[in-house]
Structure 1
Amino acid sequence: MPSFDVVCEPDMVELKNAIEQSNKEISNRFDFKGSDSRVEQKDEALILFGDDDFKLGQVRDVLVNKMAKRNVDVRYLKDDKTETIGGDKRKQTMKIQKGITSELSKKVVRIIKDSKIKVQASIQGDAVRVTGGKRDDLQETMALLKKEVTEAPLGFNNFRD
């Protein structure tokens, strides 16, 4: 029986590439000369460093642009906290969203059941497993979810035939 999983996790390789490209651009830009602005990745979070709020905003803009160029959805990042570190320097932590929240998974299951497509959806931890009799039904379900769910970037993997 064909099935696939609905997940919410970024392509970590592309995210790392976007971070490296951001750091390279920051090191080459004239307005960042002599500053300690950079982006670091620590486990499930990104840490942005800047000399002041303006430069921190510029670092964020560079990161968002590089992520967009590498097709990594910006909705995976959630602002956590901005703090002052020594003097005027600023640090912002951004959490990387992995896994579907229980509220979103319930919404996905409800959308699938209300659509009357002949598939079954079940919550499997931080993913939603969708099974059906035909591939066409599963592809129709994917298109429906892409259209209906806009608050989080959904991905589809583990497609079994």
Structure 2
Amino acid sequence: MPSFDVVSKVDMQEVDNAVNQAVKEIEQRFDFKGSQNEVTLEKDAILIVAADDYKLQAIIDILKGKLVRRGLSPKCLDFGKKEPASNMAVRQRIAIVQGIPKEKGKDIVKLIKDTKLKVQAQIMEDQVRVTGKKIDDLQEVIQALKGADLDVELQYINMRS
């Protein structure tokens, strides 16, 4: 029976490359000279320490731009709250979301059922498997999911016929 998996995975090597490019740009920019700004990649998060709110927002914009240029969606970022750091600086932790959360998985299954196509969708840990008798129905499901605004970046893998 034809099937495919709906997943949300982030290529961490591309995230690392984007962070490194952002750090280089920050070091080069005139408006950041003489101020303490840091962007570090942790295991599953990016930590930004900036001299003030304006610089923090500028760093986030630079980082988003670098991610988009490397083919990653900013939807994979989950912004934590801003908190004060030493020397009047601000710190923000940005989690990198891997996998589809349960609530989003339920939304995806509901969206698939609303298409009224003859397919079945089931949540399997952090992914959703869709099966059906016709490949055309599966392709319609993919188009429906691409058209939906789900606040999570989706990939479609393991298409089996």
Partner of 1:107: 107
TM-score (norm 1): 0.91
Partner of 2:84: 84
Partner of 1:23: 23
- Give the letter aligned to residue 24 of structure 1: K
Partner of 2:155: 155
Partner of 2:143: 143
* Alignment partners' CA distance in 2, 1:23 and 1:152: 26
TM-score (norm 2): 0.91
1:74-105 per-position Cα deviation (integer Å, ceiling 9, x unaligned): 11111112222211122110111122122211
Alignment RMSD: 1.5
Partner of 1:127: 127
* Alignment partners' CA distance in 2, 1:40 and 1:4: 35
* Alignment partners' CA distance in 2, 1:128 and 1:19: 30
* Alignment partners' CA distance in 1, 2:104 and 2:150: 11
User: Residue 38 of structure 1 contacts residue 59 of structure 1 at CA under 8 Å; is this kept in 2?
Assistant: no
The farther-off stretch of 81-90 and 55-64 is 81-90
Partner of 2:95: 95
**Runs of 4+ displaced beyond 4 Å:** none
Map 1:26-45 → 2, pairs under 5 A: 26-45=26-45
Task: Kindly tell me the number of residue pairs found equivalent between the two proteins.
Answer: 161
